[in-house]
Amino acid sequence: MCEQQNMAVIRAWVEAINRNDVDAELACWAPDGEYVVIPTGSTYRGVEQIRNAGHRSAALVGDQPAHGRKQITHLEAGNDWACVSYDAHATITGPLILDGVTVIPKGVDRTIVTKACVVFEMSDAKITRGTEYFDKAAMAQQLGIDQPVLERLYSSLGSTSRGDFPRGPSTPAEVVTAFLAAWNNRDLDALGALLAPQVSGRNPLSSNDTTLSRPAAQSAIGQMMVAFPDLHMRIDSIVSDGVIVAVEEFETATLAATGRSYAMPVSLFVRVNPAGQIDRFHNYWDTRSYFGQLKITPKALSQLLTHSNGGNDAA
């Protein structure tokens, strides 16, 4: 019953945003609720800050699809949590002025088309905390501004200052979501901060478990980013039992050495230790589709990766 109630609350929250009904949004929140936007380092604490952010963000939207600017693609919930992913589509109409500087001129429209994921903590069918993740670089590019300006834009909605930024991801699902967002954003520092001192795992390309130190794992991931520079993981579903996080994601990437790409679903099982750090990965995907789309043999791919990794085959 709690799961269904929590899902209904999140659905009502999204529908209220689509109607630009800020009062209905607030009805979904606990009085001391907190909304954190990880990519921009913004936090809105309490109903007044959330109310102000709701009114100001709605005022920025010059146009949106008739069915609303946030369309739910996946929604899951447990007794004290919920997770929603949605497609967002909105047009911002200038002038947009920050700190006395015009960042979008009058009469200019900039359209945002992006995907986002929000992980919620729930209590008594109310939201106590929401943590949002999206591709900051892509959003800034679509708005025609740089990323620091995007951060200032979110701050102008009435968030708590960056210096007061709260704790990081607190639940295993939040940790894994933040990790995948950091990978999508090519943020190796943020990604490394979520790894345990020793990380083990396996995937269809390796028949045995591999264990790496945090620096080695971070380096190996960085090398994979070089091999597949546009790799992007879209979370379609995420659930957790409190230790293991199961993710269904859709992955796209281009192998830089050949220019060939793949696009396919991937299953990911991640273990998060009590310190909130990832210490084990299991990845599963269709290797026949993978190699077929890349038009390469496993041996040739291994040689390409080893070459691009400077002779280090740990990746």
Give pLDDT tens digits for 111-151: 999 999 999 999 999 999 999 999 999 998 998 888 888 88
Whether 294 contacts 301, CB under 8 Å = yes
Instruction: Specify the pLDDT at position 162.
Output: 38
- Please provide residue 243's backbone torsions phi and psi, each rounded to the nearest 5 degrees: -130, -55
CATH number, domain containing residue 269: 3.10.450.50
Residue 313 lies in a domain: no
Q: Are residues 18 and 158 in the same domain?
A: yes
- Per-residue DSSP letter, 107: T
Q: Are residues 120 and 227 in the same domain?
A: no
Give me the mean pLDDT over the 151-172 stretch: 62
Structural domain ending residue among the three candidates 111, 130, 164: 164
Q: Are residues 190 and 134 in the same domain?
A: no
Q: pLDDT category, 159, cuts 50, 70, 90?
A: low
- Per residue in 14-40, pLDDT (tens digit) is 999 999 899 999 999 999 899 999 998
Whether 203 contacts 220, CB under 8 Å = no
Residue 315 lies in a domain: no
pTM over 0.85: no
Residue 216 lies in a domain: yes
The helix or strand, by DSSP H or E, that contains position 270, with its residue range, turns out to be strand 261-272
Half-sphere exposure of 94 (CA within 13 A, CB side): 16
Q: Are residues 186 and 143 in the same domain?
A: no
Tally of domains in the chain: 2
Name the residue with tokens 């345990």. 196
Domain enclosing residue 257, as ranges: 172-308
